[in-house]
Amino acid sequence: MHIEVRGLNKQFGDFHAVRDVSFEIGKGQLIGLLGPSGGGKTSILRMLAGLETPSSGDIIFHGKRVNDLPPQERGIGFVFQNYALFKHMTVFDNVAFGLKVKKVAKDVIRERVMSLVELTGLKGFEHRYPHQLSGGQRQRVAFARALAPEPQLLLLDEPFAAIDAKIRTELRTWLKDMIERLGITSIFVTHDQDEAIEVADEIMIINKGRLEQKGTPWDIYKSPQTQFVASFIGESTIVDQVEQLKGFEEAKSWPGTKALIRPEYIEIGKRHEFRLASATVPGKVKHLHFRGSEWMVEVVVGDIKLITYRSLEKDVLQPGEDISVLIHRAYLFNDNDTWIMENK
């Protein structure tokens, strides 16, 4: 289903929870709504679902304004974080529920439920009750139940939050594959950036009720359009005064310019490891953390603390060791603008 939202606002009394949000979502896309707690993600989802009335703005499905349609007429499936399964019903009856409500013929229900049970890897579990399933299995029942009435839009609110870390990763991949295969437009809410980056075709960053940026995970990482997005996605250090960095001469003439430095913008090493030593600045190793595949290194340059990674193949550094630091690029921003600058 193609979705368009124009100028969406939601006020709870004096509190403005969603502010002038507009976006479009193409059919079959998997979108992650990402942002800090209280930013307005759930409120946006609930307005799309028809569970909350917008204070102003339009919600358009397939070119038709649906603001006044009740939830059951919007062609939507839901999955919530706490499964919300019917405890007294078997897996089969949970999945069949939406179809029974619609008074679908019994044999059609049976066929559809069994195909979803198979699709969600729950074959053989049809007669179990929710308490006889693992968290991951219960969440798959919730997906199957949401998919049974053949929704055109699937809304998922923190669908993986209640599941332990190991199964969560598996379930994410599984969900992404399944949604791709079925081609259902889907929107999921998360506050976990790794989850959004791994799963979503496009991410919408929501902060303080506003849509800060919408784009592919790579776009957002590589070209953040606001300071908030830059610091929310990926690891980084913010340097208050760009004068403290070597290179970046041009930026120094912009008053109030700050720099955001990502780990991969930095190269560190012993002095002899750099061919162009003139471009480096002296630094010191503060801490080293072994990460299995590489070292995470905390480095200090003057009073700036930076984080970077170093391959295991290179010479081992020691805490307290004097090193050279080369900052290749910086993400710069001031009150008016944001831009990326290479160290020249």
The footprint of ligand ATP (CB under 6 A) covers 12, 15, 17, 35, 37-43, 191
Q: Based on CB atoms, which residue is closest to ligand ATP, 37 or 311?
A: 37
Question: Dihedral of CA 224/228/231/233: which sign?
Answer: negative
Contact 280, 274 (CB under 8 A): yes
Q: Based on CB atoms, which residue is closest to ligand ATP, 159 or 247?
A: 159
Beta-carbon-side half-sphere exposure of residue 165 (alpha carbons within 13 Å): 2
Q: Based on CB atoms, which residue is closest to ligand ATP, 82 or 241?
A: 82
CB of 43 to ligand ATP, least distance (A): 3
CB of 139 to ligand ATP, least distance (A): 18
CB of 42 to ligand ATP, least distance (A): 3
d(CA 254, CA 50): 47
Q: What is the dihedral of CA 207, 30, 154, 25, to 10 degrees?
A: 70
Q: Based on CB atoms, which residue is closest to ligand ATP, 41 or 310?
A: 41
d(CA 113, CA 93): 9
- The conformation of residue 163, written as its DSSP 8-state character, comes to S
Q: Based on CB atoms, which residue is closest to ligand ATP, 41 or 74?
A: 41
d(CA 222, CA 218): 6
CB of 23 to ligand ATP, least distance (A): 16
Give SS3 for 149.
coil
Own/partner pairs for 213-220, CB < 8 Å, 24+ apart?
214/23
Please give the backbone phi and psi of residue 243, each rounded to the nearest 5 degrees, phi first: -60, -25
CB of 209 to ligand ATP, least distance (A): 7
CB of 12 to ligand ATP, least distance (A): 3
Q: Based on CB atoms, which residue is closest to ligand ATP, 176 or 191?
A: 191
